[in-house]
Amino acid sequence: MLKDITLGQFFPGDTIAHRLDPRTKLLLVTLYIVALFQAKGWLSYGIITVVTLSCMRISHISLKNIFKGLKPMIFIISLTALLNIFYTQGTPIIPGWIITWEGIARAIQMVLRIVLLITGTFLLTYTTSPIALTDGLEILLGPLKKLKLPIHEMTIMMSMALRFIPTLIEETDKIMSAQKARGADFETGNLIDRAKALLPVLVPLFVSAFRRADELAIAMESRCYHGGEGRTRMKQLVMAGRDYIALLLGILLLAAMIYLKKLGI
């Protein structure tokens, strides 16, 4: 059950999206998100949807993968849709009803916005290995090191966290099965009952996570880890022609969105 979560998971591949420099992709996602929030009218949403779909096509990410990743967000998405449907002023679809045409339109746009937002970030994490991602982040945020911000430490923590997500999920599954075998009930009762039932899962999970962290630290030290100083990288990040082209396209998208926003479509 828990194994279905694909958050922060990387699908190795050899498409152009995989080969792009992680820095490019990080910047592109930033541009994409800003552009997405500029979208006002149907035309803008249409363009950005088409762009997203083509990006998925290019990086060989199927709709199925995206939907799998969206599953945990269903609650938030439906809540947004409902709120927008019921709380938007305008012309009712049937006279006297609270539901308005504007509300429906807004709900669709909002849902589209959330879905596209998530899809965009998924495209990044699906096509970029977490190590490359954190490497890119470390370089992009590099200038902040001068302000004594612990950028290296932060990025290595991130990559460790990502590395251990599948391991910890597997462990949670195991603990839950063990507790179920001894009569624990996670499926029935109200929200509070269920939250309470999770306690016997969380305690051993935390204990084991701490033990893992301890062992990991020793293993890292045994492999000569001593912070970011004097560290080199096997995979050097090199910006190629395709990176500049991709960035240019990203900027164009943003510019188009800002222009369309001014026109209001």
Partner 1 sequence: MSIIKFEKVHFTYPGDQMESLCGVDLEIEKGSFVAVLGHNGSGKSTLAKHMNGILAPTEGRVLVEGIDSSDESRLIELRRKVGMVFQNPDNQIVANVVEDDVAFAPENLGVEPGEIRRRVDEALKLVDMYDKRRHAPHLLSGGQKQRVAIAGVIAMEPDIIVLDEPTAMLDPLGREEVISTVTRLCREKGMTVVLITHHMDECVGADRLIVMSGGSIAADGRPAEVFADIELMEREGLTVPETTRLLYDLKKRGMDLPLTALDVESCAKEIVKQLRG
Task: Candidates 96, 97, 222, 241: give the one binding partner 1 (CB under 8 A).
Answer: 222
Residues numbered 10 to 29 that lie near partner 1 (CB under 8 A) are: 10, 12
Among residues 84 and 127, whose Cβ is nearest to partner 1? Answer: 127
Q: Work out the number of other CB atoms within 10 angstroms of the CB of residue 7.
A: 15
Question: If we measure between CA atoms, which residue out of 257, 256, 250, 265 comes closest to residue 32?
Answer: 250
Q: Which stretch binds partner 1 (CB under 8 A): 30-38, 45-53, 103-111, 209-217?
A: 209-217
Interface with partner 1 includes 220 (CB under 8 A)?
yes
**Residue from 20, 13, 15, 12 nearest 238 by CA:** 20
Q: Determine phi and psi for 92, rounding to 5 degrees.
A: -65, 150
Our finding on whether 216 is near partner 1 (CB under 8 A) is: yes
Distance CA 49, CA 56 (A): 11
Q: Which two tokens stand for residue 158?
A: 């991130």
Instruction: Write down the least CB distance from residue 54 to partner 1, Å.
Output: 26
Task: Please name the residue that has the structure tokens 């962290």.
Answer: 213
Interacting stretch for partner 1, rule CB under 8 A, among 59-67, 99-107, 143-151, 210-218? 210-218
Q: Give the number of other Cβ atoms within 10 Å of residue 63's Cβ.
A: 11
Binding positions for partner 1, 133-192, rule CB under 8 A: 159-160, 162-163, 166-167, 170
Please report, as residue ranges, which positions from 107 to 136 form the binding site for partner 1 (by CB under 8 A): 129-131
The reply on whether position 238 binds partner 1 by CB under 8 A is no
